Chains A and B, each alone.
Chain A
């Protein structure tokens, strides 16, 4: 059942190669390392934080913790010391694997005691905690079970052509649910996995592609933007037999470019939809109908169901009617956590509210039309506008700037809105600090001035109106 982490790994045929340490292990050896590491864990169920890049040490650690029924918190290795400490404290994490440097193949990954101890026992079903927004280091985490992971892995393998003799060169980090799902499916199949942390903009990445000739390419919209900018015809992409995209809605222009190139070479392109709250994957579009349904996310994965509800919570049965998208399936998480106490219990979620607005066509294929919640994506990173607004407020206070403020935006465009005129120096400072804190490029952040922050009758900010006024300014300036 959980072939991606259980003892069956030992009989699989492929290899795992760590490009950084240049270490190669067979699945048999990998399994041995996992068993050896499990023997070093103390008795009982605890919370282990794992801060790691893609590496063999990280993979061994993750699989050993999963197999022995521990609870794992996967941390983005780019978190700064303060963000890391906040999470460790909030969740009273007992043990920490800090695998910042690639460990040698000889010794087993080491963990340390954090000093935190909690009386709050972790629910038996909670095995993995993932962040939905790596960038703002929000302490909100998704609670996942081994059953969630196994169910999603199985559903994904029901439609993606991952084969035992495939090779996968990682393109996504393992602390990200999409990246993790790629690892699970390839481990399940016993495929070859080349772990690395290079970006598509680095030569060593393309050398790995030329050497290992992988079959599947997995990317977020930003990855495909890079591929198309670098030039599809000029990159060594010939070994790839399929392409898969998730992690947000891809700009139509890029989908069209990718589609026409893939169609010409008879390589399927899978447009997929998912959320960490559903482990990773929720839906995908059959590649053979991509040409006619370029903007669609298709239908639910095997074992899952999608539905739309109107504002009153009634199910929408009429095609082309917009409502909130709900998903049901064995991969739906056990709820969200904000602190250690939330790990004591689980929530039974029959229908997961995705926060996305969608419609479906006559054939039952779904289309995302917008977002209910105030989230945007910047180069694939999910950013909560409400969280940024809070950060912006404290920055204004710190810098002794008195002004009304708000934060709005669209994908790849974050707008900091104020009502008072700020000098250039103040503007640059605010933009740079926000970009720095969110770890995004400053070109995606702009400061806007409007006369007054419009509000609704209930006193809340009228965000659509603020957005409209900012966009109008752009139109005038052009």
Chain B
């Protein structure tokens, strides 16, 4: 009977294990193996040599990769940070009672529903240097003297991409925060108000700690997602101008599919996986703490 139960458990799990094993575990192990070789993607198969840590030594001293990594971290911290602050602020607003609140709660899901690629294209059109709405609007308002090249200026392009990313993803933080806000006990807030605590103090000492758990979980999830950023960059700038928006995933993509260096590319990919593992562990610890309450 016990053995049957155990068998049944694995039988129930087996389809999922097979799919995940074949599509994620096997490729991952192969990437790991590749990263220790000098394999290249070629039409004629050549002997592949085991070269130990050579790829890794090259990777961690490669200034282009370090820069791409730095950009990715900047992208991740800035967009997730602003999404967090904006998301909580909007959630606080939508948690108040005022006419039109429900319509607003309803509408705010729209940016999140827009596909990532459409979002990228929409903002690319808005940022267009000659025909973009942003230029026309700012110029007509007299805010800028001339049309600007928003995505064509090194130093600026990445921030413009971050803005587009925030626009699409902040609703997620709003919905999670709003759900958490609705569980904040009113009597606690009332008591604090009677004791004379101002709005900001009530927020800092009661509301924020109360919603912190779910908020952190969603922000870590967003961090994991933002760290792999590829699609929005691919459509908006293709990594340019002069590599100023080339993120780590994009870097590895080019190493694989433009320069056809699969061995070396794999070592970069494994390094990204290692960083992701750190983020995933943080998520795991946070989610467990959350589950235990």
Q: Is chain B found bound to chain A in the same assembly?
A: no
Interface residues of A (CB under 8 A from B): none
